[in-house]
């Protein structure tokens, strides 16, 4: 038998469904901790939610990149500090050889020590971090220089490439964190060329040439001042990385707070909504059960 449509029953069922939907939503929030679990929960907030998630992911990558280059710049700064110490030692050796009382054999011994300094500087130029020669520019799988102390000009030409890599800060700006061994030790400006200054001092001592030794002392001093400017570059890069890392941490906090406001459930409210829905559902069912049931036959009788 087909029952007649009952508007009262239909309204009751619709109301009951609304109560059940609120209960289900509250239950989902309590289970997941989120007030947005499906798009239909809050369609107008989905673009904001997705944008915040994308921004957080990008900021996480920026932070990861900053951490990686921090290791490189810290190592580079330490390496150049050592290089400056070596160059200062070279100046001491040259000064000892420049005295009138230094004999040819003493100068020859000083030349051997100067060769050791040059070897150490080439080794520093080849500093490697996690499989990358950090002073070889973009061609970081190739050692920047080789050395053969049997030659009058023992240091090879630069084997690396220019350094074009830049690192992104949280605000989207880019900055450099590295320079090449060529920029540091092998300047095209003769007065600033560290390798050439040490090589000239070595050759001058080995040849027992008073004038050349005196000139080498001055060249080494100029090269030392130049090398200190390269050390300053890495000091500034370290500061930039530290500031950018702090900015990224602050941005992360801000973005996560914003995302939390969009998607995190108010657990207290969810509990209240669930309890109210359960109470309303029980009251509705009780009221519906108490309604009189009449059919056409009741009126015909």
Q: Is the pLDDT of residue 283 over 90?
A: no
Say how far apart CA 170 and CA 149 lie, in whole Å.
47
Residue 173's φ and ψ, nearest 5 degrees, are -75, 160
Q: Which residue has the higher pLDDT, 51 or 294?
A: 51
The pTM is what? 0.74
- Over the stretch 143-191, which tens digit does the pLDDT of each residue have? 999 999 998 899 999 999 999 999 999 999 999 999 999 999 999 999 9
Are residues 235 and 6 in contact, defined by beta-carbon separation less than 8 angstroms?
A: no
Q: In this predicted structure, what is the pLDDT of residue 1?
A: 44
Q: What are the residue ranges spanned by the domains of the chain?
A: 51-258
- pLDDT category at 44 given cuts 50, 70, 90 is confident
CATH code: domain 51-258 is 1.20.1330.10
Contact 143, 149 (CB under 8 A): no
Q: Check: CB of residue 121 under 8 Å from CB of residue 195.
A: yes
């Amino acid at each position: 038998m087909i029952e007649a449509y009952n508007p009262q029953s239909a309204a009751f069922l619709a109301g009951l469904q609304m109560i059940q939907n609120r209960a289900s939503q509250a239950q989902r929030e309590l289970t997941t901790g989120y007030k947005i679990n499906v798009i239909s929960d809050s369609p107008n907030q989905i673009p904001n939610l997705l944008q915040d998630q994308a921004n957080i992911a990008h900021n996480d990558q920026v932070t990861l990149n900053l951490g990686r280059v921090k290791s490189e710049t810290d190592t580079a700064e330490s390496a150049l500090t050592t290089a400056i110490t070596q160059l200062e030692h070279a100046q001491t050796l040259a000064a000892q050889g420049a005295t009138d009382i230094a004999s040819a054999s003493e100068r020859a011994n000083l030349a051997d020590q100067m060769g050791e300094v040059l070897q150490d500087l080439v080794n520093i130029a080849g500093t490697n971090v996690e499989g990358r020669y950090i002073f070889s520019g973009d061609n970081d799988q190739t050692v920047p220089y080789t050395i053969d102390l049997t030659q009058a000009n023992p240091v090879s030409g630069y084997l690396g490439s220019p350094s074009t890599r830049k690192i992104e800060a949280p605000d989207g700006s880019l900055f450099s964190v590295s320079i090449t061994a060529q920029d540091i030790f092998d300047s095209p400006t003769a007065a600033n060329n560290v390798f050439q200054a040490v090589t000239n001092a070595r050759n001058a001592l080995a040849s027992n040439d008073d004038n050349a030794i005196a000139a080498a002392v001055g060249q080494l001093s100029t090269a030392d001042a130049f090398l200190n400017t390269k050390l300053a570059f890495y000091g500034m890069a370290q500061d930039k990385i530290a500031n950018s890392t702090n900015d990224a941490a602050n941005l992360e906090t801000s973005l996560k707070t914003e995302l939390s406001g969009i998607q995190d459930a108010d657990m207290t409210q969810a509990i209240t909504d669930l309890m109210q829905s359960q109470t309303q559902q029980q009251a509705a069912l009780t009221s519906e059960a108490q309604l009189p049931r009449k059919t056409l036959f009741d009126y015909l009788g």
